[in-house]
Chains A and B, each alone.
Chain A
């Protein structure tokens, strides 16, 4: 266990060395949030609420969605693809730790760093610039914390799955880009899922994506009641478990393929 904690620490320190990137990153995300804020203000016009969300809740939703993204986002899919294509993964397999576990820990280290150096200051800045409104209800923030942790795992598992496909589809950069674009929309980052037409929402209930952004953001903007929040968290948890299986299956298939190729 110690070695995994050490990985988190090392990744964290690496990011610390490049922290100026994160300050410009906050600026970039603020500009992004700004674009969506103006867009949503124009969309709301004089309306009090759309699908139960007021314009203030929507602004808060957008701000939180982007800042939370800094936590759950990672480049594991690209990194794994690169390591597999360069053949480095064969060396990694003989090391005394679980390769996938290591990747998750690296992602967690990055995520924790970005949470403190990016998301938190970012949210504070955005709070002063845009009309966002946070609740002072600690139970809501507690549920939010659990929710974003689970969304990190869902997103990371999806990244690992995509990374593993590099064993089977050698040049999957198109797949990686497509996945990111699809997730941006269907995770609830760009729009709350409740805005989609009914049939689309029904389909998305069977997909893990809404657990990545929609659930945590709705929890913290109090778009969900406490009961709904707990239900959402349960659904996220189920997906974390469910996604574990295809990862293990594909990974063992991939390792067999690697050995057969004499790697």
Chain B
């Protein structure tokens, strides 16, 4: 089933090749601008709360990878407008496959994964400058952490999308969540205790960037948090799916 969706997807996407390039280049430009910001700032200081410029660049590079995975699979920012208001969810519910899975497949944007390449390139650049050594287990842990981070990101956004099942709220919460997720790009110890708590346990975006990256940077005091990444990812995602299922039950019950 998945492969049928995939082949349809590739067919439609390849028709608009120019669009893909334009998207890719404007994404690249956004990343470049963010990097320029970091570089200019570090022209004026050597350390950011104990983190050096190359470490910050490394964290940023790392953050780009689960973000790219998230953008590829969890494109649900317009869930309210498209599926609830316009009623597309009804069409989805007539099919025998889990609704969330269908929506993920429908809204797949695999070309976003190219952003992961940018992230990996940035990490290698910074890692090189930091003289980080690559161990045999690093690639496996990397994939584990990336999946964990993407699940955290996806889980939070699914939970927000679920609000549409219960309230008629306009989901301008999505841009807010996106902004909050950007807090996870920087080391979480620059924020005060309350924000650190929120970014770790409530809206755990710190697990998308700084905590897993800290492992590769050899920051031993953060290791517990790094290894917690896949756990938090799975937990949040499962909670999100449970809430989703409840939401769909309510949606069905309302006679839709």
Query: Which chain A residues have a beta carbon within 8 Å of chain B's beta carbons?
Result: 20-21, 24-25, 27-28, 31-32, 34-35, 38-39, 41-45, 47, 50-51, 171, 173-175, 177-178, 181-182, 184-185, 190-191, 195-197
* Cβ-defined contact, A35 with B182, below 8 A: yes
Known contacts A174-B25, A190-B37; is-contact A195 B176 (Cβ 8 Å): no
Interface residues of B in 140-157 (CB under 8 A from A): none
Q: Determine which of B22, B49, B179 lies in contact with A31 in the assembled complex, contact meaning CB atoms within 8 Å.
A: B179
- Set of chain A residues within 8 Å of B22, measured between Cβ atoms: 171, 173-175
Q: A31-B179, A35-B182 are in contact. Are A181 and B30 (CB under 8 A)?
A: yes
Contact of A171 among B19, B25, B47, B182 (CB under 8 A): B19
Shortest C-beta distance, B130 to chain A (Å), equals 20
The chain B residue with its CB closest to the CB of A32 is: B179
Is B29 touching A182 in the complex (CB atoms < 8 A)?
Answer: yes
For the A-B complex with A28-B175, A44-B45, A195-B41 known, give 4 more contacts whose Cβ atoms are closer than 8 Å: A43-B45, A45-B45, A171-B19, A181-B29
B195 at the binding interface (Cβ < 8 Å): yes
- A sample of 27 inter-chain contacts (CB < 8 A) reads A21-B170, A24-B172, A24-B173, A24-B176, A25-B172, A31-B180, A35-B182, A38-B186, A38-B190, A38-B192, A38-B195, A39-B48, A39-B190, A42-B48, A43-B41, A45-B49, A47-B45, A51-B44, A171-B22, A174-B25, A174-B26, A175-B22, A182-B29, A185-B37, A190-B37, A191-B40, A195-B40
Min CB distance B178 to A, Å, is 9
Q: When A and B form their complex, which 8 residue pairs have the shortest distance between CB atoms, in order from nearest? A: A174-B22, A42-B190, A177-B26, A178-B26, A174-B26, A185-B33, A42-B49, A28-B176
Question: Which chain B residues border A21 with CB–CB below 8 Å?
Answer: 170, 172
Q: Name the B residues within 8 Å of A34 (CB-CB).
A: 195
Q: Nearest-CB distance from A17 to chain B (Å)?
A: 13
B43 at the interface (CB under 8 A from A): yes
User: Do A45 and B44 have beta carbons less than 8 Å apart?
Assistant: no
CB closest residue in chain B, given A40: B41
Given contacts A178-B26, A181-B26, A185-B36, contact A43 B48 (CB under 8 A): yes
Is B106 in the interface zone, CB < 8 Å from A?
no
Inter-chain CA distance A173–B18, complex, in Å, is: 12
Q: Which residues of A contact B176 (CB under 8 A)?
A: 24, 27-28, 31
Report Cα–Cα, A171/B21, bound state, in Å: 12
Q: Which residues of A contact B88 (CB under 8 A)?
A: none
Q: Provide the bound-state CA to CA distance between A25 and B176, in Å.
A: 8
Measured CA separation A203–B78 after assembly (Å):
40
* Shortest Cβ distance from residue A219 to the other chain B in the assembled complex, whole angstroms: 22
**Contact mask for chain B residues 175-207; partner A; CB cutoff 8 A; 1 contact, 0 none:** 110011011001000111001000000000000
* Residues of chain B contacted by A191 (CB below 8 angstroms): 37, 40-41
Residues on B with C-beta less than 8 A from A175 are 22, 26
B54 to chain A, nearest CB (A): 16
Within 8 A of A (CB), among B18-72: 18-19, 22-23, 25-26, 29-30, 33, 36-37, 40-41, 43-45, 47-49
Which residues of the partner chain B approach A42 to less than 8 Å between Cβ atoms?
48-49, 186, 190
Minimum Cβ distance to chain B for residue A261 (Å): 21
Q: How far is the CA of A224 from the CA of B219 in the complex (A)?
A: 42
Judge whether B179 and A196 touch: CB under 8 Å.
Answer: no
- How far, in Å, is B163 (CB) from chain A's closest CB? 13
A174 touches B172 (CB 8 A): no
> Is the pair B40, A35 in contact by a Cβ cutoff of 8 Å?
no
Does B40 contact A45, Cβ atoms closer than 8 Å?
A: no
In the assembly, what is the distance between CA of A206 and CA of B34, in Å?
Answer: 23
Across the interface, which residues of A come within 8 angstroms of B45, CB to CB?
43-45, 47, 50
A197 is contacted by which of B19, B25, B33, B43 (Cβ under 8 Å)? B43
Q: How far is the CA of A195 from the CA of B39 in the complex (A)?
A: 11
- Complex Cα distance, B190 from A5, in Å, reads 48
